[in-house]
Amino acid sequence: MTVGQVRVQDLSYIYPDGQRALGGVSFQVGAGESVGVVGSNGAGKSTLLMHLNGVLLAPPGTVSVSGIALTRQTLAQVRQRAGLVMQDADDQLFMPTVLDDVAFGPRQQGLIEAEVLQRATDAMTTVATGHLAQRATHALSGGEKRRVALAGVLAMQPEVLVLDEPSAGLDPRARRQLIELLSGLKLTRILASHDLDLVLDVCTRVLVLREGELVADGPAQDILCDEDLMARCHLELPLSRPRRSPTG
């Protein structure tokens, strides 16, 4: 069964200015896994995530989602299966009201209006934004915008949820609500974040990028508590964990 699985093989990417963002990255994510992607600024996290939804396209390298190889011809199929929540919610919210925004994706799928509204209502309920349905998207708080952007992706009923810095700019209460929400979702989740405590709370596995290369892949607690590894990758240990190596 390939539903919800993600496979990345020998993925490389060089920006037009010649900067190498990724160099030969390979990994697999199983259905229902929750995987964190960590690394310092410029390590390639956002570039990697943009390949998983086809914002950027390989080659060199290959990306497949739910058994579908990502190409220009399969882009629409992959985007139905892999939903991307961007780092800045303002990049995703553009319709006049919350309901319009959450319903936009299902409408583009050609669903009947009753199904569109049901999906939008269910997604808003999941992220606790149903009371905001008629609010203007530009008038929302940062945390509300983040949840509405997530609802818009969930309304598409993806098999894989990809999130870039999901806790950026959130206050402590909104951050805790986000952790509880992400922890309760059953679909495959891949998230990139500098918030290593959130990664430790939400993810069971962690990929570590350094200068565009995958340098570690393993259980979240082992990886994030490895002080030597974190130092080599210019990262700090999560605040909630003791400062020790897993072998120490």
Query: Where residue 82 sits, what CATH number does that domain have?
Result: 3.40.50.300
Contacts 24+ apart (CB under 8 A), 221-224: 221/246, 222/246, 224/38, 224/196, 224/199, 224/200
Domain count along the chain: 1
User: Is 237 within a domain?
Assistant: no
Question: Would 127 be classed as within a structural domain?
Answer: no
**Model pLDDT, residue 200:** 94
Alpha helical stretches, state H, the chain: 45-52, 75-81, 98-108, 113-126, 142-154, 172-184, 196-202, 220-224, 227-232
Identify the burial level of 97 via C-beta atoms within 10 angstroms of its C-beta, where 0-12 means exposed, 13-18 middle and 19 or more buried: middle
> Mind listing the pLDDT tens digit of every residue in the chain (248 residues)?
589 999 999 999 998 888 899 999 999 999 999 999 999 999 999 999 999 999 998 678 999 999 999 999 999 999 999 999 998 889 899 999 999 999 999 999 889 999 999 999 999 999 999 999 999 999 999 889 989 999 999 999 999 999 999 998 888 888 898 899 999 998 999 999 999 999 999 999 999 999 999 999 999 999 999 999 999 999 999 987 654 444 44
- pLDDT at residue number 206: 98
Specify the amino acid at residue 74: T
66 inside domain = yes
Residue 219 included in any domain: yes
**pTM here?**
0.91
Residue 31's domain comprises 6-87+159-232
List C-alpha distances in Å: 106 to 80, 114, 151, 189, 242.
10, 11, 11, 20, 45
* 240 within some domain: no
Domain assignment of residue 39, yes or no: yes
In a domain, 146, yes or no: no
Q: Is residue 193 part of a domain?
A: yes
